[in-house]
A and B are shown apart, each in its own frame.
Chain A
Amino acid sequence: MADTSVKKRGAAKAPFIEPGHTFGSITDKISSIVLTRKTPIFWFVGFGISFMLLSLLMVAVAYLVFEGIGIWGVNMPVAWGFAIINFVWWIGIGHAGTLISAILLLLRQDWRTSINRFAEAMTLFAVAAAGLFPLLHTGRPWLDYWLMPYPNTMGLWPNFRSPLVWDVFAVSTYATVSFLFWYTGLVPDFATLRDRTVNRWSKRVYGILSMGWRGSAVHWHRYETAYLLLAGLATPLVVSVHTVVSFDFAMSIVPGWHATIFPPYFVAGAIYAGFAMVLTLAIPLRKFYGLEDFITMRHLQNMAKIMLATGLIVGYGYMMEAFTAWYSAAEYEEFMILNRFTGPYKYAFWSLLACNVIAPQFVWWSKARNSVVALFVIAMFVNVGMWLERFIIVVTSLHRDFLPSSWGMYSGTFWDWATYAGSIGLFLTLLFVFIRLIPSVSIFEMRTLVAEEKGKKH
């Protein structure tokens, strides 16, 4: 899906970095956000709001553990609700980071350089937010470690046939590799910060974090090798994580879940959601920190195009779901899709189509592609649409399955929404802390772009 021709044409088109930048100016500009510039008001406002949401999460979680899962809207037949919806949503969002860092790196897509750092950070934080939900959604969260294979006096392994156990491996591997990848990429920049900071304490902290980086040729050589290897490791993860997440549904026998299209359709949906979220975050970030030079319209447009491409795959997925339901001639499948179209959750379903299939079509139109506001709005639609998609998959499949006697309805309670809002709070809080303490654009990689741009001019 990555368009290799972008690079070729890119030379003729707008640059990935605005002209006039030197190594020094890049370093100054990016490191000043962390080291010298006064923390702007909007940071305090944003961090304050996020932290309040995070506190709400703390309250919601404490109450949940104290009282039980019943404070949520889950019931019989809809035994999974917001928790799983949010889990899949967050995990999906996390995908853009790895995709940008690993796959685009391997495909030598230089334009990734200015956005990969915070896309990776976003991945990590999204995975952190996602990881909360499966942990919390169990009836007895204090026993969640039973899902891990560890030697124990009970002499019991987890059930390796269960997709939830695969999930544990998939998500924890993904979180680990994403972290390593992100951290490895940060080491040279930590060293830059260590060298530039005047504060004794931050010098120490950045010194420890930079792990003795001196910028020697040997360091760079090893760094490049490690980074490439990690990219190679992370690449299959982009596909595997959401494939495994989709197995949670596809391996069951619930009509609406039991579908072979789920793995590719989930992966595409994840990249779709991920890029929408990167756009959602990049647009305000470049505005508030004046990073338009580094995150140019080219970046936004490329991301929008990937969003459009994956959005089309997702749309195809919806179509095939309906087609398969009809083609299967299985009455439960047929009913399931009709129930999505016309049942009690039909508004959610049609809104999902509007958000995920109609909204991105505006990207075909160059005026929309060139408008930061339009891209932001479209990305927001996709964020909502992808949440609705998971809602439709989880809820409408379960609420009316095989025996009409057991049919029921589902809606989230205050605590469901509080936990969801709280997870956004967690994500944003981490993001604000990240922006404040760590260079949110890779300094050394941007410097290579200057060299490349220069090279092109000559």
Chain B
Amino acid sequence: MNKNSEKIDMAALRDKLATQQGKQYWRSLEDLAGTEAFQKLVENEFSTSLDEFGEGFSRRRFLQVMGASLALAGLSACTSQPEEKIVPYVTNPEEIVPGKPLYYATAVMLGGYAAGVLAESHMGRPTKLEGNPEHPASLGATDIYAQASVLGLYDPDRSQVIRRVGRFDTWENYLASVQAELQGQRIKDGAGIRILTETVTAPALANQIRNILKDYPLARWHQYEPASRDSFKAGAQMAFGQYVDCQYHFEHADVVLSLDGDFFTGIPGGLVYARKFTGRRKAEGDSAAMNRLYAVESSPSLVGAMADHRLAMRAGDVAGFAASVAAGLGIDVPGVRNQAVRQKWIDALVRDLRKHSGRCVVVPGEYQTPDVHYLAHAINAALGNVGKTVTYTQSAEANPVVQLDSLRELVGDMESGDVDLLFILGGNPVYTAPAEFKFDEKMAKVHTRVHLSLYEDETSELCHWHIPQSHTLESWGDARAYDGTATIIQPLIAPLYGSKTAHDVLSVLSGQSGKSTYDIVKDYWKKEIGGVDFDERWQIALHNGTVAGTAFVRKTVRLQRAQNLNVEGSSPGIEVVFRPDPNIWDGRFANNGWLQELPKPLSKLTWDNAAMVSPATAARLDLENEQIVEISSGAQTVKAPVWIVPGHAEDCVTLYLGYGRTRVGHVGNGTGFSAYGLKPGSGDWFVAGVKINRIEAHWPIANTQEHGSMEGRNLVRSASVGEYESHPEMFHEMGHEPGPEMSLYPPFEYNGYAWGMAVDLNACIGCNACTIACQSENNIAVVGKEEVRRGREMHWIRIDRYYEGELDNPEVHHQPVMCMHCENAPCEVVCPVAATTHSDEGLNEMTYNRCVGTRYCANNCPYKVRRFNFFKYADYETESLKLMRNPDVTVRFRGVMEKCSYCVQRINLARIDAKKEDREIRDGEIVTACQQVCPADAIVFGNINDENSEVSRRKSEHRDYGLLAELGVRPRTSYLAKLKNPNPEIVES
């Protein structure tokens, strides 16, 4: 909004109305112009007046958000009911059957890399994403970001209108304005044109940019996103003299060494790695053969939590550690320090690696130095892993560059005034660029700045043109996966607002104005895969979600000798380690309520980031949870609340990026603090020698699990492979499990189906994908930070995290807990109105309509999986969110209890299909949302009356046990105990 001008500009208003789609409700000219005074009026009218009523309400940030959303949605309450006519299809589209969803193959990206998804569409509305089993980077699983992108699409805070210096404008004016600028550039060969994108793997987009660069030879294309793979690329450049991608093949790896990284999440191919890695830990039947994972890490990660052996060390020491391992394997590395303390550990590791030559793999962390990447390549080469557990291909990036250098170059050009016309396509560099680049100041020297983004963010504010970006689910496009496989991205819905794609924005440069994104993408692929039967192949590619034959062929690479490796170890003092946030990534998902409220793996924080330190470091610095500290490095200072994380490296602080945003939306504004200020411009992901000052103030943090100890209870049962093999019944002996004979009544006979679930704790990596998939499938509400602090989060499935052993390097256990559908369900007996009852298939069913909300069931549930609508958490007002909901699942009103239903809507769907075909429901036909999304295949659901079903098979394993089964509740969900495969040499020492 233009704060300097409160005068209403009629022309601008006319333009605004022209830019918006659909029926626009506006109350007055002030409303339409969005003047500040009017905004205040709206706030007073809708949100704050009730806040004054008391703490209960004012604390609920999310409801304020909703109050504001109401203002955005148009004032429907004060108008009389419009005369609406419901018009049936005169000719029903062939494929649409009301009530039956359709699935379309498309892809979602993180860091430019695609993972294939199948989008569930109800009457033209995408409501849920499932992994595409035929896509090589998905194999049917998705990560949390893919699940949450549905909410991203319908986010009411998304940018909806083109703005020029803060005022509403039109696409036509944008085209005209840029065309005028281009007149001058044409003479200069485009010397003043810069295009800044995020990582681009999209072949069609890269092609379009290349064509522009042909027309304007002096124009430049830069790429930058903060969580890019710069270290990986620089390491590959060091090792092989070229940019390559590498893929790991964990299915062939008996021994894995992770060097301060997390190869499960936030990495291209992570879903596949998780599937293949955990596939080697299933310990099925009598064989307990398992891979062995060594992890060295600074900041506790999911890989560290899975490790059979884990060392916590400062990020700066990892290079030295890797060099020691390399030296142990006989690789000539300059400057190896002898790490006497861990020498035994290293020796045992080296022997184990050597023993498994060709069947092991070393995986460097994305946020380690290029040197560590170089060493990992060297070790893999020396152990003969290349071609077996590690393969190389050309980079999936269309134009691989070390992005920080690319950005630095752009900033230099902007400073010297060489840039006249800057297109920022996606990304938010004003917020994400290292503070020392002073991106915002330098950018001010650019004559015309165009920003395409999903939100009106920090960068949009400083640009002349802001253009709302189409969400992935509403635009055409393409992208490559980690192995090069290309996917055509197809829109599931027409853009909700007048948004544009990068292709659209660039079309004016490439002389394709007016050409649709669809045509640009299709034309590109016509040229690529061409041929007479192109239309058919195009259809097949769209249908399958992959373009056949686009996976890269393996590349033979030759390791070069490194000139100079820095393996000295970090300087003394405290080290800060940066990581993209596990939930909101680099900040792009900051306005996504599902991701904000998702308890971060291990720390279980929601809605905030924190300065995470080890217990010992906290004790030494006299810090406690939620206490604010001032962290300074050089001239930069950041204030952050402390959170103590067992297993963190000593003298080391982890800061997650992505928080502290000021302009993102009602959900994300004001959450956490920004760590970008401290992040060095060198591109390093850790910086040593920082100062930490205690401040006598606290910042409240919403954490979903306060207690990490199992208190000696046999909740997660675990043992080493050796112990298990010598005594397979050990897990059953850990707890007494009373059978049905304990009851005075005869057990109920389940004659038809009897649904049950088994969760393999040995496979669960704790990635949270199930939690958010469940949220999406079951229309689970977001409650906001204050409500989470009061213990009122609504997730139907949660990942319990327990620590075991020493405080400084504990063993971590994950345990997904959802409703156990107990056969003797304690919740059912106590409900006074019979709102929760047992079905004849063994489901514990919740009848929302009948629930009066005594909450007695929740008290009596030993698993505490029941969730209560203390307020009206579900958003009944915001129009766009109505489109998002799964029509098969009721949206719950305030005052009713809810909980996991075993995805009863999916059971019923399968039942209908089976009945139509006059057959039984097949094993595997019903896939619950949590099961479907799980990259580790940890969850299996099915009919336990069928002896041959997968779930029965798993339940017959020796490792199978019931959580709290000693209470006699007879849970239908059971767990497979966790195994560790330690190296006997290290255990003995």
Q: Given A80-B859, A140-B851, A144-B852, does the pair A71, B867 have CB atoms closer than 8 Å?
A: no
Instruction: Give the residues in chain B near A253, CB-CB below 8 Å.
Output: 826, 860, 862, 967, 969
B852 and A73 contact, CB distance less than 8 A: no
Chain A residue at minimum C-beta to C-beta distance from B53: A63
Cβ distance A138 to chain B, nearest Cβ, rounded Å = 5
Which of B312-320, B438-446, B710-718, B973-981 forms part of the interface with chain A? Answer: B710-718
Asked if A40 CB lies within 8 Å of chain B CBs, one says no
Name the CB-closest residue of A to B704.
A405
Of residues 830 through 862 on chain B, the ones whose CB sits less than 8 Å from some CB of chain A are: 830-834, 850-856, 858-860, 862
Cα–Cα distance between A255 and B558 once the two chains are bound (Å) = 65
Q: In the bound complex, do residue A139 and residue B850 qualify as a contact, i.e. CB atoms below 8 Å apart?
A: no
Determine whether B872 belongs to the interface, using a CB cutoff of 8 Å to chain A. Answer: yes
Tell me the nearest residue of chain B to A332, going by C-beta.
B713
B709 within 8 A of A: yes
Q: Judge if B54 is at the interface, Cβ distance under 8 Å.
A: yes
Interface residues of B in 783-829 (CB under 8 A from A): 787, 790-792, 798, 800-802, 815, 817, 826, 829
Whether B859 pairs with A79 at a CB distance below 8 angstroms is yes
If A139-B855, A404-B802 touch, whether A254 touches B831 (CB-CB below 8 Å) is: no
Interface string of A157-194 (1 = CB under 8 A from B): 11101111100100000000000000000000000000
Cβ B712 vs Cβ A139 within 8 A:
no
Q: Provide the residues of chain B in CB contact with A362, threshold 8 Å.
A: none
Q: Are B832 and A165 in contact (CB under 8 A)?
A: yes
Q: Interface majority SS on B: helix, strand, loop or mixed? A: loop
- Residues from chain A with a CB closer than 8 A to the CB of B56 are 63, 67, 70-72, 413-415
Taking the complex as formed, is A76 at the interface, i.e. its CB lies under 8 A from any CB of chain B?
yes
Q: Is A327 an interface residue (CB 8 A)?
A: no
* Total interface residues in chain B, CB < 8 Å: 61
* Contact bitstring A122-165, B, C-beta under 8 A = 1, else 0: 00000000000000011110011011000000001111011111
Residues on B with beta carbons closer than 8 Å to the beta carbon of A407:
706-707
**Cβ-based interface call for A353 (8 A):** no
Q: Is B702 an interface residue (CB 8 A)?
A: no
Whole-angstrom distance between the Cβ of A335 and the nearest chain B Cβ: 7
* Distance in Å: Cβ of B674 to nearest Cβ of chain A: 30
Are the C-beta atoms of B864 and A76 separated by less than 8 Å? yes
Q: Do the beta carbons of B54 and A63 come within 8 Å of each other?
A: yes
Give complex CA distance A413, B871 in Å: 15
Task: Indicate which residue in B826, B851, B863 contacts A252 across the interface (CB closer than 8 Å).
Answer: B826
Contacts of B871 in A (CB 8 A): 67-68, 70
| Interfacial chain A residues near B851, Cβ < 8 Å | 139-140
Which residues of chain A are near B853, meaning CB under 8 Å?
69, 138-140
B895 at the interface (CB under 8 A from A): yes
Residue A401 CB within 8 A of the other chain: yes
Q: How far is the CB of B706 from chain A (nearest CB, A)?
A: 6
Contact A139 B57, CB 8 Å, known A158-B834, A403-B863, A408-B791: no
Is A398 part of the contact surface with B, judged by Cβ < 8 Å?
Answer: yes
The interface size of chain A toward B, counting residues with CB under 8 Å, comes to: 53
Other-chain contact of B869, A72, A139, A335, A398 (Cβ < 8 Å): A139
Chain A residues within an 8 Å CB radius of B791? 75-78, 408-409
1/0 per residue, CB under 8 A from B, across A394-419: the answer is 00001001111111110001110000
Q: Which of A64-112 contact B (CB under 8 A)?
A: 67-80
A401 engages B57 (CB within 8 Å)? no
A403 to B815, CA, bound (A): 11
- Report A331 CB to chain B, min CB distance, Å: 7
Q: Is A251 an interface residue (CB 8 A)?
A: yes
Does B482 interact with chain A (Cβ within 8 Å)?
no
Contact yes or no, B833 A137, CB < 8 A? no
Report the separation of the CA atoms of residues A77 and B831 in the bound assembly, to the nearest whole angstrom.
17
Write out the residue numbers on chain B whose beta carbons fall within 8 Å of the beta carbon of A404.
Answer: 707-711, 713, 715, 802
Q: CB-CB < 8 A to B639: which residues of A?
A: none
0/1 interface trace, chain B 571-592, chain A, CB 8 Å (1 if under):
0000000000000000000000
Please give, as numbers and ranges, the residues of chain B lying within 8 Å of A415 by CB-CB distance. Answer: 54, 56
Whether B715 lies near A70 (C-beta < 8 A) is no
B386 to chain A, nearest CB (A): 43
Closest-CB distance, A86 to chain B (whole angstroms): 15
User: Out of B53, B867, B964, which one reaches A76, CB within 8 Å?
Assistant: B867
CB distance from B871 to the nearest CB of A (A): 4
- Closest beta carbon of chain A to B50's beta carbon, Å: 8
Residues of B within 8 A of A405 (CB): 705, 707, 798, 800-802, 815, 817
Contact yes or no, A137 B854, CB < 8 A = yes
Are B852 and A146 in touch, CB under 8 angstroms?
yes
Report the nearest A residue to B709, measured CB to CB: A404
B963, closest chain A residue (CB): A403
Contact partners of A77 in chain B: CB under 8 A = 791, 858-859, 864
Instruction: Enumerate chain B residues within 8 angstroms of A71, measured Cβ to Cβ.
Output: 54, 56-57
Q: A146 vs B897: C-alpha distance in the bound complex, in angstroms?
A: 16
Minimum distance in angstroms from A184 CB to a CB of chain B? 32
Q: How far is the CB of B641 from chain A (nearest CB, A)?
A: 19
Interface string of B54-68 (1 = CB under 8 A from A): 111100100000000
Interface centre among A70, A164, A398 (most CB of B within 10 A): A70
Q: Is the CB of A403 within 8 A of B800?
A: yes
Bound CA–CA A292/B982 (angstroms): 82
Asked whether B832 lies within 8 Å of A159 as measured between CB atoms, the reply is yes
> From residue A262, how far is it (CB to closest CB) to chain B in Å?
15
A146–B850 contact, CB under 8 A? yes
A139 touches B829 (CB 8 A): no
* A75–B790 CB distance below 8 A: yes
Q: Which of A138, A248, A252, A253 has the most CB of B within 10 A?
A: A253
**Selected contact of A147 from candidates B802, B829, B852, B897, CB within 8 Å:** B852
Q: Cβ of B870 < 8 Å from any Cβ of A?
A: yes
Q: Contact: A403 with B831, CB < 8 Å?
A: no
In this complex, what residue of A is CB-closest to B800? A405
| Known interface pairs A77-B791, A80-B859; 9 further A-B residue pairs with C-beta atoms within 8 A, sorted by A's residue number | A63-B53, A71-B54, A140-B894, A158-B832, A158-B833, A159-B829, A159-B834, A405-B707, A405-B817
A-B contact pairs, 18 of them (CB 8 A): A63-B54, A67-B56, A69-B870, A69-B894, A72-B56, A76-B868, A77-B864, A139-B853, A140-B851, A140-B894, A147-B833, A156-B834, A164-B830, A168-B832, A403-B800, A404-B802, A406-B863, A408-B791
Interface pairs A-B: 9 shortest CB-CB = A139-B853, A139-B895, A70-B870, A71-B56, A405-B800, A406-B864, A75-B791, A79-B855, A164-B832
Listed in ascending order, the chain A residues whose CB lies under 8 Å from chain B are: 63, 67-80, 137-140, 143-144, 146-147, 156-159, 161-165, 168, 248, 251-254, 331, 335, 398, 401-409, 413-415
